Chain A
Amino acid sequence: MKYISVRILCVVFFSLILRGVLAQETFPVNGPHDLRGTCYAFINATIQIDPQTRLNNAVMVIKEGKIENIGTSVNIPKDAKIIDLKGRFIYASFIDMYSNYGIQWQNNNKGKDQYANNKPGAYAWNDAIRAEINAADLFQFDEKQSTFYLESGFGSTLSALHDGICRGTGALVSTGKLNEQQVILNPAAAAEFSFNKGSSMQDYPGSAMGCVALIRQTYYDAIWYNTQQSEQNLTFNAFNKLRHLPAIFEAENKLAVLRAAKIGTEFNTTYIIKGAGDEYQRIDEIKATKCPLIIPLNFPKPYEVEDPFEAQYVSLTDLKHWEMAPANPFLLSKAGVVFTLTAFGCKDANEFLKNLRKSVQYGLSESQALQALTVTPAHLMNIDKHSGVLHKGMLANFFISNKNIFDKEAIIQEHWTLGRQQIFYAANEKILSGKYKLSLKGFDGGVLLISGQLPKPEASLIEKDTIKVSVQEQLGLFTLSFKEKKNSDALIRVDAWVSDYDTKTLQVKIITGKAQLPDGSYQPFTAVWFDSVTTKVKTDTVMQVSYGEIIYPFNDYGSKEIPVAESILFKNATVWTNETPHVLIETDVLVNKGKIVNIGKSLPAKDAKVIDATGKYLTNGIIDEHSHIGIYRGVNECTQAITAEVRIGDVVNSEDINIYRQLSGGVIACQQLHGSCNPVGGQSSIIKLRWGMPPEAMKIANADGFIKFALGENVKQSNWGMETDRYPQTRMGVEQVYYDAFIRAKEYELKLKADPKLTRKDLELETLVEILNKKRFITCHSYVQSEILMLMQVADSMGFKVNTFTHILEGYKVADKMKAHGVSASTFADWWAYKYEVVDAIPYNGVILDKMGVTTAINSDDAEMGRRLNQEAAKMIKYGNMSEENAWKMVTLNPAKMLHLDKQTGSIKTGKDADLVLWSTNPLSIYAIAEMTLVDGVCYYSKERDAVLRKYIERERQRIITKMMVAKQNGEKTEKKISLTEENYHCDDE
């Protein structure tokens, strides 16, 4: 079907009329009033009154912006203006819960590196906390955006400032073309949050974990604020009001959804979380949060992958996401997750509607889609009394389409908001296409052939030659132009209009006009229809919807099934037990249900899978005491000297490819440490490398809490150039930071005991109190002897002990004092000379500490070295003639001890966790290859499994790349894609 789809000036017209004349009650009127009837009856329509119910041949009567009556047998009031919608559809307007429609704001708080907030006024200390912002205050009608939403089907949006961590109050606004006073439906509709500090120029928070800490502390501060009278703070006044509203949380990816939900649990809030469209990748965990989601439909375009070398920059994650993203809404609905859809991120109405239909193609039912766009958001915002469905008494917010809105050719012709009409495409479109006989001087008897649709119909003039005719439409009139002869430059230009058409079929019969010939003379122009154009109907190639399968993690080397614990019998291995005796030759080890159940000779296999380990070595897996793998968006919260409140556990990236790489190097667990930016860094997370599992499942349950401290050049910011002025700048200052912090912590504890209700909960001091009470343990980055002694003295004076010195390259100089303090050492084998404080570092450090009876480990601090820690341990033999047994313990049992995990792992003993590695040869040899790595009896890595995964990756890449090329050849637009490289952190990284 071809429409003369006239994009009428109505849009302009109405915006003038409505926004100007139909003003609000209190405003004066300049001239006679012009009030018109507000009662309309829509007849002969197909009306989708709610997601489940569609009425054919129905009538809807609206009056004063509300639905007066709706149904198949409805009386039409006499004052109603009747609109015949034969063949057309009415739908309830969609509601978009994630929008910044109409929000105009600029952050005037400028100035770099703000330690405290420079914003003038009685506001919170941190500029990213903007509870006092009201979207309604910032809202201005926006013509372009209004049209975008109305054409996409949205009659109202939850508009909010998308800038900052706490973004204040969102306003529910109508997208209609009315004055601000009329479109703001509810100025306080929702509270708005994110993990992004946006335009805030303040230092803190500098990391994702800092964002989490700031949000949590803000909640606690606001609770305290209600109990005190000493200060007025407009931010907290506002924040406490916000807590009664539905709360929207923007999460930038699937793991951030889990992160936000966890904060919600702490504060008894079920956030409505705006996701990124990748939720299907962690659907079970997301479902378990019970948080409703707001899901975008901006699916990725096919990537540019024609060039094989360039295509190597696209990861399997991104390739698969391209394929699976359109299935996200379907998979969420299948899992029973409550969600709504947002147009946020879609460039135009066409993209939104196209992708909405694509979601349906991928399995989402039409009623589920409508539910997600109407009833669900209305329910989530508590506006279901008047919005979401077209029932009697509800707001007259609806749109009219030429076809079922899920039909590929459907367009939204009119959108009515609050009972007022906005027309985008005229309904009574005449059909222009056809064959016309021409009357024009010099062309009499020629045939004008018009096909295709406005605004760009194709036309040609067939006489002796076929000459291309350009047809342009403007304001209902046409301009035609064509060459006089095929090879001539002379143009004939025509002003034309429709002078007759069939009122039933809408087929244009006569086009009349005035032509100006190349000689300048005007001649009459007439074109009379005589036949219709037979166009080849482009048979829609029904797209085969298939989208591969979800792998865990959704990254290279992920797999469809996460492996499970098996019963395994290792036969005939050289076993290094880390117990007495250490070496057992030709010995069997039986693993069942994640534990080591038997060690001995010739054990019966029973149901166990038998691995012939003859000639191979079986050991406990490697434990990396100092690692920065699997950390999302920042390893350091550098912005303050003490950041005990931040937690690596909040930002575990369970999908970091380095987790898999380290499994291939025989690593089974690691401590994910905060960096070494500040004297008191953040709390660490201790994980087992359970590749495929989500963040929380990677963490070792009931592991003791640890925290990173740091000394020396990094905390003094010695190597930062000259611009830094953060306290401390000397080792002298570092000591004072500690004394001050622990004294404040002691005072805090006393105050809390004395007055638990009125004392402000301070997450930073609370963590320090845990240290004082031996409930949290310190791993301290350290190099030179002076600072090592200093921290031990601080600890002694405060009544606790330092658990571990990490790096500790001058530990050998004070090994006796370390032994006396009872501290462990986690060091490098041979690092030195990379900065001034390591000029005296020697590769014998570990040997001296070990000989002195200090529990000593070799760690990596580096994603690359982390997978070769067996080699690093062997350097103890090279440099200090350490025994193989002691060297091996440096990367297994000793780190287990210093992490307080040695009861469960670190050695091969009946009853302990089956955290085992099978090595091709002596694991301390450079020629040793980890052939199999078990964590809790689960084989997350083996040479065989790895080979299978490599093949899978190769096949999947090839399959999807081919599919992308086909999509491109079928005319889909493409985009360039560079997959983000992994963030490989070290201590010193910001």
Chain B
Amino acid sequence: MKWIDIKIILLLLVSFTLQTVAAQQRVTLITNATIHTGTGEVIENGTIAFNFGKIVDIGKGQTSLYKNAKVIDGTGKHIYPGIICMNNLMGLNEIDAVRATRDFDENGKLNPNVRSLIAYNTGSKILPTALFNGILYTQAVPQGGVISGSSSLLKTTGWNWEDAVIKGDEGIHLNWPEMHVGADLNETKSNRIEKQLLEIKSFFADAEQYHNALSVLTTYKASGFNSRLDAMRGLFTGSKNLYVHANYAKSIVSAVTFIKQQYPLIKLVLVGASDAYQLTDLIKQYNIPVVVSNVHRLPSRSFEDVDQPFKTPGILVKAGIKVAIGHAGSWEARNVMFNAGTAAAYGLTKEEALQCITLNPATIMGVNARIGSLALNKDASFVICEGDILDMMSSKISAAYLEGEPIDLYNDQQKLYEKYLKKFGLN
């Protein structure tokens, strides 16, 4: 899809070019920029070349190779891969206080079959504000119950969800019970947790049995169809991730040991995981990726280091764990890069922090062959920033490209801004 932005001449020219004159037959070059590839590498005075939506070249000084190329001067600018925000409600939750605009929490406890994909509203007014900050992709994650549903990875712009989807139904979200038996002081709590765990375990056992039965059947018995169990099959084939939302140490231990010992082939990802810093050995042992969400939160306990949430990503990365930094909520997600920035102030290098919102999410969701970093043959999906994208002082996105096409960053918020600047004669 293409959008024509009549406000920005540069973009107008580009889209004109793209749409008319032998569309996309011409390579586009952005030159002399500082390119942050998302892999940890920084190319100073670098050039990126793309055509047909893919990166055809990246590095230093190849400008002369592309004679007919459209050249954009990137001097003084920084290029980053499009940011991927994991664990998010954008497109599912428009105005939190208005029930009619909430589409992320289905009735019932075990809902692996409900799919955020089909509720994802590309007409959301929130999505353009995320795009404006350089977020090109979001993992739309249902919430609630024990198994909340299936998440999908989508672009933050598109005509509709079919158009926006990068990977549909890429994972199932399981909220592990809080394993803190003392949580209330009577004994019934541990019984309750016990029951919840049994429920989860038997659901997995049933799902596996269902999957195995269907795998050997040549003809499918219609009468035996169970949509909930059926949705779980992808976990056993490896086509879906299992995202376990667990924060406290015991929940993490319980979830990891159960899944990894009973179902070693399931691709397990921890989400939230505020206590993960206490369990790096265990998490590393099974090579489980962690989606930290959020970095900007208070410590879980009064005696914890006051900066514990800020330094947790650094601790996990140093332990060799693959870390993504996500952001819960919807409108708030436009700050995910600043969560990464804070993690960079407290232990990560800037490029490692960037990786946590680009390549690592892409790798976790199995789309790193296509997005997440800037490399040959990958999607030409990137943002051009006036300065350091992780630091709000300079994090101003001047342009964004999605699959080789320039994206209109203008949104209702700028419109109101300009309208009132004009009213008050301030511009």
Contact = CB atoms under 8 A, between A and B. Distances in A.
Interface string A216-250: 00000000000000000000000000000000000
A925 B342 CA distance: 10
A926 B391 contact: yes
Interface stretch (A370-378, A700-708, A797-805, A841-849): A841-849
Interface string A823-850: 0000000111111100110111000100
Given A313-B180, A661-B298, A836 B306 contact: no
Contacts of A978: 182-185
Interface stretch (B67-75, B109-117, B362-370, B412-420): B412-420
B198 interface: no
Interface stretch (B38-46, B79-87, B221-229, B330-338): B330-338
B130 to A, nearest CB: 11
Contacts of B185: 976, 978
Interface string A952-990: 010001000000000000000000111100101000000
B341 interface: yes
B331 A878 contact: no
A147 interface: no
A789 to B, nearest CB: 15
Contacts of B426: 848, 851-852
A866 to B, nearest CB: 10
Contacts of A557: 302, 306
B345 A843 contact: no
A315 B303 contact: yes
A833 B95 contact: yes
Contact of B94 (A317, A661, A833, A924): A833
B424 A310 contact: no
A977 B182 contact: yes
Interface stretch (A95-103, A599-607, A729-737, A869-877): A869-877
A763 interface: no
A315 B345 contact: no
A304 B184 CA distance: 13
B424 A664 contact: no
B226 to A, nearest CB: 35
Contacts of B307: 664
A833 B331 contact: yes
Contacts of A864: 296-298
Given A661-B306, A839-B125, A877-B393, A830 B181 contact: no
Interface stretch (A57-65, A348-356, A810-818): A810-818
B392 A812 contact: no
B318 to A, nearest CB: 18
B97 interface: yes
B96 interface: yes
Interface in B288-319: 296-299, 301-303, 305-307
B13 interface: no
Contacts of B181: 310
Interface string B75-103: 00000000000000000001111100000
Given A878-B393, A925-B393, A713 B97 contact: yes
B392 A874 contact: yes
Interface string B240-279: 0000000011100000000000000000000000000000
A957 B250 CA distance: 20
A848 B95 contact: no
Contacts of A863: 298
Nearest to A662: B306
A984 B344 contact: no
Contacts of B413: 842-844
Interface residues of B, number: 52
B26 interface: no
A555 interface: yes
B95 A834 contact: yes
Given A833-B96, A924-B393, A976-B185, A946 B306 contact: yes
Given A657-B302, A842-B417, A875 B392 contact: yes
A316 interface: yes
B157 to A, nearest CB: 17
A848 B341 contact: no
Chain B CB count within 10 A is highest, among A313, A833, A834, for A833
B96 A556 contact: no
A812 B249 CA distance: 46
Interface in B11-68: none
B421 interface: yes
A309 interface: yes
B209 to A, nearest CB: 33
B424 A816 contact: yes
Contact of A925 (B97, B296, B391, B414): B391
Nearest to B248: A309
A918 B96 CA distance: 38
Contact of B303 (A316, A813, A816): A316
B126 interface: yes
A842 B416 contact: yes
B396 to A, nearest CB: 6
B331 A834 contact: yes
A927 B420 contact: no
A304 B392 contact: no
A950 interface: yes
Contacts of A979: 302
Nearest to A929: B345
Given A868-B296, A875-B392, A976-B182, A312 B301 contact: yes
A982 B298 CA distance: 11
Contact of B344 (A315, A816, A927): A927
A841 to B, nearest CB: 8
Contact of A313 (B182, B330, B331, B392): B182
A910 interface: no
Interface in A641-689: 657-658, 660-661, 664
B391 A834 contact: no
- Most A Cβ at <10 Å: residue of B97, B126, B296: B97
Nearest to B413: A842
A874 B390 CA distance: 12
B180 A844 contact: no
A950 B311 CA distance: 15
A816 B344 CA distance: 41
A815 B416 CA distance: 14
A719 interface: yes
B95 A660 contact: no
Given A664-B307, A864-B297, A871-B392, 20 more contacts: A309-B249, A310-B181, A315-B302, A812-B416, A830-B335, A833-B330, A834-B96, A834-B331, A835-B95, A842-B416, A851-B424, A863-B298, A874-B392, A877-B394, A878-B395, A924-B392, A927-B391, A929-B345, A977-B182, A979-B302
30 contacts: A309-B249, A310-B182, A555-B302, A657-B302, A664-B307, A719-B97, A812-B416, A812-B417, A813-B420, A832-B331, A833-B126, A834-B95, A835-B98, A839-B95, A844-B414, A848-B417, A848-B421, A874-B391, A877-B393, A880-B417, A922-B393, A925-B393, A926-B342, A926-B391, A927-B391, A953-B303, A977-B182, A979-B302, A982-B302, A984-B298
Interface of A: 304, 309-310, 312-313, 315-317, 555-557, 657-658, 660-661, 664, 713, 718-719, 812-813, 815-816, 830-836, 839-840, 842-844, 848, 851-852, 863-865, 868, 871, 874-875, 877-878, 880, 884, 922, 924-929, 946, 950, 953, 957, 976-979, 982, 984
